[in-house]
Amino acid sequence: MDILYKSTRNSDITVTASQAIIKGLSEDGGLFVPVEIPKLPVNPWDLAGKTYKEVAFVVLRQFLSDYTDEEIKECIEKAYDDKFDTKEIAPLRQADGAFYLELFHGKTIAFKDMALSILPHLLTTAAKKQNIKEKIVILTATSGDTGKAALAGFADVPGTAIIVFYPRDGVSRIQEKQMVTQTGDNVNVVAIKGNFDDAQNGVKEIFGNKGLEEKMLEEGYRFSSANSINIGRLVPQVAYYVYAYAKLVETGSVMAGDKINIAVPTGNFGNILAAYYAKNMGLPVNKLICASNENKVLFDFFESGVYDKNRDFILTTSPSMDILVSSNLERLIYMAAGNNAEKNAGLMKDLKEKGKYEISEEMKENLKGFVGGFAKEEEVAEEIKHLYNNARYVIDTHTAVASSVYRKYKEETKDKTVTVIASTASPYKFSRSVMSAIDEKYAGMEDFALMDELSRTSGTAIPAAIEEIRTAKVLHTTVCDKVMMQSVVEKILSGN
Ligand SMILES: *Cc1c(COP(=O)(O)O)cnc(C)c1O
């Protein structure tokens, strides 16, 4: 059976998996979704004992129906290798009454590595299948994490080049150092004089410039994006939820067929949507717990059925969740509307024009499997401290949002279902907030000294990703005016 993909805004647009991955976004502004979410070919508990790569293969081949088994296997082999600092790829750690699915063992020590280490291979394979001869040029604007994960994923991948723009004064020192020290013959990093929105708008303008697109095609380049709305980023994320379940069965923590809860610290809604896809594939899931920080648009949405982005943007200690428009939610809305593209397009029009929309009672009924929650800044810090004191387990600020929300959920509902919490970043990535939460005395310390303290306190080794940037050479020094982004791109490509 061949799974095709449709736009969430126009059901007449149908593409194959490889076409959806190349296109990224549909021409009508919609997101690609499978016409029907495929079922797992086996019972999830029968995957107990399988390796991460084996589980990933079972999941991916259900979605990537126009890829051959060999192609999928090759992509998986290239992605989940010794770039990860553990053979398990995504280990499950039990601490203080929950299971933490550690998704931060890749190159950039955050969960985006799980998808961005395979996307370049899915993309180059798709290009081959579609007979695309041009070099694929990834353009990305980043506020920090995505840029580094994309750079690490695409570095030295044949047939690709990547250009990352970041706001010169809008990323942390560690994040900047991670990016400007990136090695690889095909990577380019550019600081722009402006904020994240300027960088993002600049990239959008380049994508929208038809004249430039034609000129670049003539010169042998095709622009593409590594954005989280690409189905090629969503599908690999489904795999780790199936893997987590298989592990729980393998270790006797649940019995075959038992349901689990999954709690996810949520920003753009990609990670938790992958868990929902896993549920629809047949994974036994009770509740999906959607955890927000103080930017609690999603919590309000699950409470009221009204999505309203008209509010102040709050800067928190979990910056990767500081988001007011969660792009991937559109895929859930579409399903809640009964795969009705017209209905979804209407709601998205409201969002664009009024900054809000309201779903019907019937659609709300369809979202009963989700529970929304949020954690305030002081609750996040308390949670980090609590886990450290009670289990000697140190978690990062994003994971702590989900952990705190789950703790409150459990107290309120007395739900005893075994729960998996997606652990999305290494505490080393946010060592300042993490260490200050454990003890105020760390507040004034210098970044790398803090990491040494964290290593001592948690009894864990400093990840290679951090060790490397301590001494790594700065390789990228280009700074450009925000209006010059396009000419910088042309200059980079003419020199390649
Ligand atoms: C991106 C990110 C998130 C949010 O994930 P979404 O898929 O956007 O919901 C949470 N935590 C960390 C550390 C992230 O980098």
Phi-psi region of 415 (alpha: psi -120 to 50; beta: other; left: phi over 0): beta
112 is catalytic: yes
pLDDT (0 to 100) of residue 236: 98
| Ligand 1 lined by 397 (C-beta under 6 Å) | no
pLDDT of residue 13: 86
User: How far out from the chain centre does Cα 23 lie?
Assistant: 18
Q: Is 71 in the pocket of ligand 1 (CB under 6 A)?
A: no
CB-side exposure of 272: number of CA atoms within 13 Å? 29
How far is the C-alpha of 445 from the C-alpha of 424, rounded, in Å?
25
Contacts of 182 (CB under 8 A, 6+ apart): 148, 151, 152, 155, 189, 475, 476
Burial category of 305 from C-beta neighbours within 10 Å (exposed 0-12, middle 13-18, buried 19 and up): middle
The rounded distance, in Å, linking the Cα atoms of 423 and 111 is 8
Model confidence pLDDT, tens digit, residues 62-84: 999 999 999 999 999 999 999 99
Condensed to tens digits (0 to 9), the pLDDT of residues 204-260 reads 889 889 999 999 999 999 998 888 889 999 999 999 999 999 999 999 999 999 999
Return the pLDDT at 496: 53
- Take residue 495 and report the two structure tokens written for it: 């020199």
Tell whether ligand 1 has an atom less than 6 A from the beta carbon of residue 267.
Answer: yes
Residues of the chain with confidence (pLDDT) below 50: none
DSSP 318: -
Ligand 1 atom having least distance to the Cα of 274: 7
Find the catalytic residue in 50, 112, 129, 410: 112
pLDDT in tens, 325-361: 888 999 999 999 999 999 999 999 999 999 999 999 9
Provide the β-strand partners of residue 110.
425
Q: Residue 491 Cα, ligand 1 centroid: separation in angstroms?
A: 33
| Nearest atom within ligand 1 for CA of residue 265 | 10
DSSP per position, 423-454: E-B-GGGGHHHHHHHH-GGGTT--HHHHHHHH
Q: How far is the CA of 458 from the centre of ligand 1 (A)?
A: 23
User: 22-53: buried (b, 16+ CB within 10 Å) or exposed (e) per residue?
Assistant: bbbbbeeebbbbbeebbebeeebbebbebebb
CA 274 to centroid of ligand 1, rounded, Å: 12
Confidence at residue 1, expressed as pLDDT on a 0 to 100 scale: 57
Q: Give the neighbor-by-neighbor strand order of the sheet with 260-265.
A: 92-95, 98-102, 419-423, 260-265, 285-292, 370-374
> pTM (2 decimals)?
0.95
Question: What six digits make up the tokens of 33?
Answer: 């979704």
Tell me how far CA of residue 321 lies from CA of 231, 290, 307, in angstroms: 20, 12, 16
Is the Cβ atom of 112 under 6 angstroms away from ligand 1?
yes
Distance 332 CA to ligand 1 centre (A): 17
Run of H or E including 306: strand 306-308
The residue nearest atom 15 of ligand 1, judged by CA position, is 320
What CATH number labels 92-109+232-461?
Answer: 3.40.50.1100
